[in-house]
Amino acid sequence: MTPNKPRGPYAKGAERREQIIQTATDVFATDGFEGTALKRVAELVGVREATLFHYFSGKQELLTAVLAERDRRGLADTPAKEAGLALMAPIAARNRTQPGLTTLYAVASATASNPGHDSHGYFQERFASVVRALEDDIRERQAAGGVRSDVSANDLARLVVAVSDGLQLQWLYDKDVDMAAGLTTFIDVLLKPPA
């Protein structure tokens, strides 16, 4: 017996919602998310701009869905064997090729700090998840002697995230900033066990 799949209008609505997310992610990656981006998304999907919000409660819900899709694609594009610290530089390099999504992430993360903001939960969980993954990796590396152990794994994980986001913010203002190289240097130098 096959699992029940949505049929009728609900299935079509779910498919259209997914189409909007995929299209918006592609458009925002290159064109950014301000100005005419939503109009462009609507044109590519074949609906009016106002129709987009039949599938989302508002612009913020759509932007959050796009950021979640950005995360999903990023993980899907990385080799399965890479995790934790090994993912940081490749993700930074990918972000450089998606200026619109990188800007969206920076702006949305800064504005979502209020607990009442529609994207607050997404960013709260995202930061917690990234820190947990890095902390687990760092703790394993500490046990093997590959990472300094005089600082807690949690503190080191939070510093890696801070450096990553800080370099990304600097890159938004100066495209000569090499986020991937900066992260690699930070990880190689600061996390190195004391001699």
Residue 195 lies in a domain: no
**Euclidean distance between CA atoms 140 and 142, whole angstroms:** 5
Residue 2 lies in a domain: no
Is the whole-model pTM more than 0.75? yes
pLDDT tens track for 88-119: 999 899 889 888 888 888 888 888 899 988 88
Residue 109 lies in a domain: yes
Phi, psi at residue 150, to the nearest 5°?
Answer: -85, 0
* Count of domains forming the chain: 1
Residue 162 lies in a domain: yes
Closest residue by Cα to residue 164 from 78, 81, 98, 96:
96
Residues in the chain: 195
Residue 1 lies in a domain: no
Q: Is the CB of residue 16 less than 8 Å from the CB of residue 87?
A: no
Q: Give the residue numbers spanning the domain of 80.
A: 8-190
Q: Where are the alpha helices (DSSP H) in the chain?
A: 8-31, 37-45, 49-52, 59-76, 85-96, 99-111, 120-143, 153-173, 179-190
pLDDT tens track for 128-186: 999 999 999 999 999 999 999 999 999 999 999 999 999 999 999 999 999 999 999 99
**Euclidean distance between CA atoms 47 and 51, whole angstroms:** 6
pLDDT tens track for 78-90: 665 667 899 899 9
Residue 179 lies in a domain: yes
Q: If you search the block for the tokens 């080191």, which residue do you land on?
A: 156
Closest residue by Cα to residue 66 from 91, 41, 83, 93:
41
Which residues neighbour 64 within 8 Å (Cβ) at sequence distance 6 or greater? 108, 118, 119, 122
Residue 34 lies in a domain: yes
Q: Residue 138 sits in a domain of what CATH number?
A: 1.10.357.10
